[in-house]
Amino acid sequence: MRLANLGGHPVLVDGDRAADIAVASENRFPADPMALLERWDELTDWAGSGLKRDAYDIPVDPDALGAPVPRPRQVFAVALNYPPHAAEAGFTPPDDPLVFTKFPTCITGPRTTVELPAGKVDWEVELVAVVGRHTHHVSEDRAWESVAGLTIGQDISERVVQAAGKPAQFSLGKSFPGFGPTGPVLVTPDEFADPDDLEIAGILNGDVVQQDRTKSMIFPVPELIARLSAIVPLLPGDVIFTGTPAGVGNRMNPPRYLTEGDELVSRISGIGEIRQHFRGPTG
């Protein structure tokens, strides 16, 4: 199942056509993406029983897509989860996940223009896992059952604010408006041959700057879910940014940061791509 937020309405997507879930279900399901996530099991049962072809009566306008999860209650993000990225950042791979948050107001949809704040704004393409059920103390081997689906995210990061303070606290520098674009669709784990092994790439102005496979992660999705849920109850619609591969701008020589006019494309096999343009800084 491929789910999207089209103009604020949850839809099922098939190719370039969409079915409005509230309409196709005759209002059995809510027209709000967050309320829908509370009923994920029921939704997958209903969608799995087969939707009539003519329910897919809306053309998908990529520019009208919003965040698949527009108002998550909790947003987790993981630092240094790919060995080459840990190495380029000057660290040995961590023994435990390094977890911070992107405050939820930064979450946006897949095609946006981001206003650059002052400072050094960098890119981080990431696989994003979305929680589909209340989860506390789940084991690693059952953790995929807690995942509604996977989507693409950019953990856009302003490195000056991120690194300020001793010790530094990452969250604010990664939470400027528009710093958490996600989408274009939420894809259920069963849609992938192997949801633990997806090709992930970041492309800046046509040049591939980041490329890896998600199987390279030090803490794969199930381990992250198990470890997070050992401490914090995970809630439907919670979002987990799972870390970025090597190739971020501040580790280039010389460093390269986002500037006005840049186009950043983030791609994951089996999901699609999101696309950001950058403007500013103003003032």
Query: For Zn ion, which residue has the nearest CB?
Result: 155
Region of residue 278 (phi > 0: left; psi between -120 and 50: alpha; otherwise: beta) = beta
Minimal distance, residue 39 CB to Zn ion, in Å: 30
Residue 155 binds to Zn ion (criterion: CB under 5 A)? yes
Nearer to Zn ion, 124 or 212 (CB): 124
Choices 31-39, 142-150, 239-247, 256-264 (CB under 5 A): range interacting with Zn ion? 239-247
Least Å distance, CB 242 to Zn ion, is: 8
Instruction: For residue 47, report the phi and psi dihedrals to the nearest 5 degrees.
Output: -65, -35
User: Please, which residues have CB within 8 angstroms of residue 2's CB and are 6 or more apart in sequence?
Assistant: 12, 13, 14, 185, 186, 187, 188, 191
Is 212 a binding residue for Zn ion by CB under 5 A? The answer is no
Nearest to 89 by CA among 78, 98, 79, 102: 79
Min dist CB 124 to Zn ion, Å, is 4
CA atoms within 13 A of residue 192's CA, in its CB half-sphere: 20
Whole-angstrom Cα distance, residue 74 to residue 44?
Answer: 23
For 174, what's the count of Cα atoms within 13 Å in the CB-facing half-sphere?
A: 27
User: Segment contacting Zn ion (CB under 5 A): 46-54, 194-202, 243-251, 255-263?
Assistant: 243-251
Q: Pairing relation of β-strands 180-187 and 107-108?
A: parallel
Nearer to Zn ion, 11 or 75 (CB): 75
Q: What is the nearest approach in angstroms of Zn ion to the Cβ of residue 91?
A: 14
Size of the site for Zn ion (CB under 5 A): 3
Q: Is 244 in the site for Zn ion (CB under 5 A)?
A: yes
For residue 26, the SS3 value is: coil
Q: Which is nearer to Zn ion, 20 or 122 (CB)?
A: 122
Q: How far is the CB of 76 from Zn ion (least distance, A)?
A: 11
Distance of closest approach, residue 141 Cβ to Zn ion, in angstroms? 26
Residue span binding Zn ion (CB under 5 A) among the ranges 149-157, 160-168, 206-214, 265-273: 149-157
Phi and psi at residue 258, in whole multiples of 5°? -70, 140
Contacts of 161 (CB under 8 A, 6+ apart): 119, 172, 173
- Taking contact as CB under 5 A, which single stretch among the options 23-31, 35-43, 237-245, 270-278 is the one that binds Zn ion? 237-245
Write each residue from 111 to 130 as x if it is in contact with Zn ion (CB under 5 A), else as -, in one continuous string: -------------x------
Q: Report the candidate in 29, 16, 24 with the shortest Cα–Cα distance to residue 55.
A: 24
Stretch that binds Zn ion, among 110-118, 140-148, 213-221, 236-244 (CB under 5 A): 236-244
Interface contacts to Zn ion, rule CB under 5 A:
124, 155, 244
